[in-house]
Amino acid sequence: MCWKGMPYSPSRLSSCRLAAVKAHRAPARLLATRVRASGRSHAEPSSESEMHHEVGRRELLIAAAATLPAMSSMSAFPAVAAEAGDLNESASGLKWKDVQEGTGPSPVKGAVIKCHYTGRLTNGTVFDSSYNRRQPLSFTIGVGQVIKGWDMGILGAEDIPAMKEGGKRLLVIPPDLGYGARGAGGVIPPNATLEFDVELLPRK
């Protein structure tokens, strides 16, 4: 995923969007979640012109996603209200709620996993959804390819249980575990708290 709505890490985002995204590079870690919007393999583009073409396609996808209303049809999740009383909260400030417990194994650091997700702002504005693209995000967990809130919310932490394959979890990610004071891509404003519906798909 090379931005604009996926949980990629700032370093990965920066390599994808080149000079145009330097101002947002640090927070780009959020959507390391979607590795390839084009559906191609994870191999690097063969030329700089091809890279620009791929980035352009991704940005169009995100821009389109940002105009869509936050509706349940964009996600396999039932409607979940991100209310404080319904959520667990870690010492890091990350909040979560298991919508559906998985029955498979939990991922380990360094494993390549696949997730479906919908990301939105706290006002309900959806900025990206793999459900809408019908293509899950594949990435390596626990190595900084995605924003820290994703790594922690899926892999687990001292006070956060790891997800299990087949599980669905609502993550409410504070700015310091997302894109911070810089925001990202003109889609995520500075100091934004982000909500993600994340579904950890079984490995085949």
Catalytic site residue 131? no
Catalytic site residue 160? no
Contacts of 87 (CB under 8 A, 6+ apart): 95, 96, 97, 170, 172
Catalytic residue among 127, 141, 173, 188: 127
Catalytic site residue 8? no
Catalytic residue among 62, 113, 147, 154: 147
pTM: 0.67
Using CA atoms, how far residue 123 sits from 76, 163, 181, in Å, is 20, 26, 18
More confident residue, 87 or 54: 87
What residues pair up with 121 in beta bridges, in sequence order?
A: 194
More confident residue, 84 or 58: 84
Give the domains, in start order, of the chain with CATH numbers.
88-201 (3.10.50.40)
Give the span between the Cα atoms of 193 and 195, in whole angstroms: 7
The DSSP H or E segment spanning 20 is: none
Q: pLDDT by residue (tens digit) across 165-198?
A: 999 999 999 999 999 999 998 899 999 999 999 9
Catalytic residue among 8, 77, 117, 139: 117
Residues for the chain: how many in total? 204
Q: pLDDT by residue (tens digit) across 122-159?
A: 999 999 999 999 999 999 999 999 999 999 999 999 99
